Amino acid sequence: MTTVAGYSDAQLQELGLDPAKLPQHIAVIMDGNGRWARSRGLPRIEGHRRGVKSVRKIVEECARLGVGYLTLYCFSSENWKRPQHELNLLMSLLKQYVIEERSEIMRQNLSFRTIGRKEGLGEEVLAEVQKTIDYSRDNTGMCLCLALNYGSRGELVDAVQTIAQKVQEGTLNPNEIDEATIADHLYTRGMPDPDLIVRTSGEMRVSNFLLWQLSYAELWVTDKHWPEFRQEELHQALRDYASRDRRFGGLKG
Ligand code: IPE
Ligand code: IPE
Ligand code: MG
C-alpha cells in the first residue's frame, strides 16, 4: 500500500510551521459554500461541489502534516431546515464522496469515522459510510471524522439518556459520574478534544458544534469561503495557532 509521505521537519520549517506546535486535533466548520456560489452567479450546489475539492485538499494536507485527528462539520442537525432539493443534492454528494474517497482513504492510511445521529441520513448513505468505516478499520494514520447530522445538544441528550439508563439498571453509581464519564458517552469517545477550531466565511459562532469538546480549543475564523480554503489558508491558521499562549486557566507558561 502506498501512503502519503509526510513533511520532514525541514520542510515544515520552510512553511513557517513548528513541528512541536502543531495541533493534535483540528475541527473545521466548513461554511460559505452557498455564498461562494452566489457571488459567482452559480447555484448553491456548485458551491457544495467545489467544497468537496477543498475537503480533499485539506484532508491530504493535514495527513501530510502529521495531524492526528481532523473533524469536519459536513451537515448539522439544524441543516434539515433547508429546502428539500438542496437536502437531496447534499445527500447525494455525501454518498458520492464516501464512495469515491474510499480508495484515497486507504491510500492515505486514514481511519474513517463519523459523529452524529443516523436517523434521517438514508439507508444508502449509511451503508456506504459503514463500508468505508469497515474498510479503514485497521488503518493507523490520521483519523478523519465526519460530523453528519451532528448537533452538540443532541449529542449531550443522547449521552445523558445512556448514563441515566445505566444508573437505573444499577451499573453506574451517580456519585461516580465525572467529566471522563460524560466524555466517554459522547459520539467523540476515544478522541482527544480539538486543539484548534477553524471556521470559514466569517461568522463568529459555533453553530451547535462540539460544545463540550471545544472548551479550550483555539478559535480561528477566516473570511474566505470554504470552496476557496486551501493549503495556504490552513498553513496560516496553523502559524497563528502556534503563536497562541494556551493557558487552560493557569498562568503564562
Ligand atoms: C456550508 O455552506 C455547508 C453546509 C452547511 C452543508 P453553506 O451551505 O452553509 O453556505 P452559506 O453559509 O449559505 O454560504
Ligand atoms: C454550520 O454551518 C454547519 C456546517 C458547516 C455543516 P451553517 O451554515 O449551518 O451555520 P449557521 O446556520 O450559519 O449558524
Ligand atoms: Mg452556512
Question: Is residue 54 domain-resident?
Answer: yes
Atom of ligand 2 nearest to the CA of 74: 6
Question: Is residue 91 domain-resident?
Answer: yes
Protein residues whose CB sits closer than 6 Å to any atom of ligand 1: 30-35, 75, 79, 90, 201
Mean pLDDT of the chain: 97
Say which amino acid occupies 218: E
Residues 221, 186: Cα–Cα separation, whole Å:
26
Question: Is residue 153 domain-resident?
Answer: yes
Say which amino acid occupies 66: G
Give the tens place of pLDDT for each residue, 212-237: 999 999 999 999 999 999 999 999 99
pLDDT score at 39 = 98
74 lines ligand 2 (CB under 6 A): yes
- Choose which residue among 28, 29, 31 to substitute to test ligand 2 binding: the one with the highest number of ligand atoms within 8 A of its C-beta: 31
- Residue 160 makes CB contacts below 8 A (sequence gap 6+) with none
Q: Write down the catalytic residue from 31, 139, 149, 195.
A: 31
Q: Write down the catalytic residue from 18, 79, 158, 208.
A: 79
Helix ranges (DSSP H) in the chain: 9-14, 33-38, 44-65, 84-100, 102-107, 123-135, 152-169, 179-184, 231-243
pLDDT score at 5 = 86
Residue 73 in this model has a pLDDT that exceeds 80: yes
Question: Is residue 32 domain-resident?
Answer: yes
- Nearest ligand, measured from the Cα of 203: 2
Residues 200, 179: Cα–Cα separation, whole Å:
30
31 lines ligand 2 (CB under 6 A): yes
Residues 45, 50: Cα–Cα separation, whole Å:
9
Whether 79 is catalytic is yes
**Looking at the 3D structure of the chain, how many domains does it have?**
1
Q: What angle, rounded to 10 degrees, do the helices at 123-135 and 84-100 form? A: 20
Question: Is residue 7 domain-resident?
Answer: no
Residue 74 belongs to what domain range?
18-240
73 lines ligand 2 (CB under 6 A): yes
200 lines ligand 2 (CB under 6 A): no
Whether 184 is catalytic is no
Residues 237, 219: Cα–Cα separation, whole Å:
9
Q: What percent of the chain has pLDDT over 90?
A: 97
Residue 170 in this model has a pLDDT that exceeds 70: yes
Question: Is residue 27 domain-resident?
Answer: yes
pTM passes above 0.95: yes
Cell of 41: 452567479
pLDDT score at 3 = 62
Q: What is the CATH number of the domain that holds 109?
A: 3.40.1180.10
CA-wise closest residue to 234 among 28, 19, 4, 21: 28
Question: Is residue 9 domain-resident?
Answer: no
Say which amino acid occupies 192: P
Question: Is residue 74 domain-resident?
Answer: yes
- Nearest ligand, measured from the Cα of 74: 2
Give the tens place of pLDDT for each residue, 116-152: 999 999 999 999 999 999 999 999 999 999 999 999 9
Atom of ligand 1 nearest to the CA of 35: 14
> Residue 253: which pLDDT band, with cuts at 50, 70 and 90?
low
- Nearest ligand, measured from the Cα of 223: 1
